[in-house]
Amino acid sequence: MEFSQKLMPGRLIRRYKRFLADVELNDGTLVTAHCTNSGSMKTALEEGAPVYLSPVSDPKRKTRYTWEMIKINDQWVGINTNIPNKLAVHLLAGPGIPGLEGYDFMSKEVTIYDSRIDVLAVKNGDRCYIEVKNVTMKGDEYALFPDAVTTRGKKHLETLMRIKKEGMRAVMLYVIQRMDVEKFDAAKEIDPEYAETLNLAVEKGVEVIPLQIKVTPAGVYLHKRLSYEPR
């Protein structure tokens, strides 16, 4: 999936107030960009590191740029939390996702019970509910989620368990926006309750698909499915 417009290169000055980042563009211009990532960005934040921003044309937006990626250890890490959902829909409608091939209908942001799940896919009349999470944190060879305590994420897992109990397919799709990892697990050191709930969800039949994507200034592309290996 390619970016719709050319990205602007620069270097990170600082990230602050969770949703703002000061960036010096390559021409020396100082700008403030919107940071969609509300997490800690642990292992994906380094002042002075190269970054890419996407320009924003919406006149109502206060910030004229969105922060898309940062270079950590000579590799691009995608930090825009909107990308995983867009990519998931793009892949499901086209080449497919390993383990989720052949679906012919999709709805986004579907309300079920007391939650909203990112994607509903249908194949031969069978429903599959897919919750998508953005993963940027690294620990040794592992991609880890979450990078901050997430009660909302825990609730999504509980909803997926209810969906599975009702006889429908329930999937947690973790989109890993970095290439320097080989496995996936929950970050129990950061949110032990989430990790415990994920283990329970797997026991109850919720599927875990960790999907690694290659992030470049031109676009983001499916690389491969990683293994889910609890430590």
Tell me, what CATH number does 28's domain have? 2.40.50.580
Both 129 and 203 in one domain: the answer is yes
CA distance linking residue 216 with residue 156, whole number of Å: 30
Assigned domain for 3 exists: no
Report whether 113 contacts 156 (CB < 8 A).
no
| Pairwise CA distance, residues 9 & 1, whole Å | 19
Q: For 102-112, what is the mean pLDDT?
A: 90
202, 215, 211: which is closest to 174 by C-alpha?
211
On whether both 74 and 131 belong to a single domain, the answer is: no
Q: What is the pLDDT of residues 34-74, one digit of tens each?
A: 999 999 999 999 999 999 999 998 888 889 999 999 999 99
Q: Taking 90 as the threshold, does the pLDDT of residue 127 lie above it? A: yes
Work out the mean pLDDT of the chain and round it to a whole number: 96
Name the residue range of residue 22's domain: 8-78
Shared-domain flag, residues 90 and 191: yes
Domain count, the chain: 2
Could you give the angle at the alpha carbon of 114 between the alpha carbons of 113 and 117, nearest 5°?
A: 80
pLDDT-based confidence at residue 224 (cuts at 50, 70, 90)? very high
Residues 70 and 157 in one domain: no
pLDDT at residue 33, as a whole number: 97
pLDDT at residue 49, as a whole number: 98
Q: Do the domain assignments include residue 1?
A: no
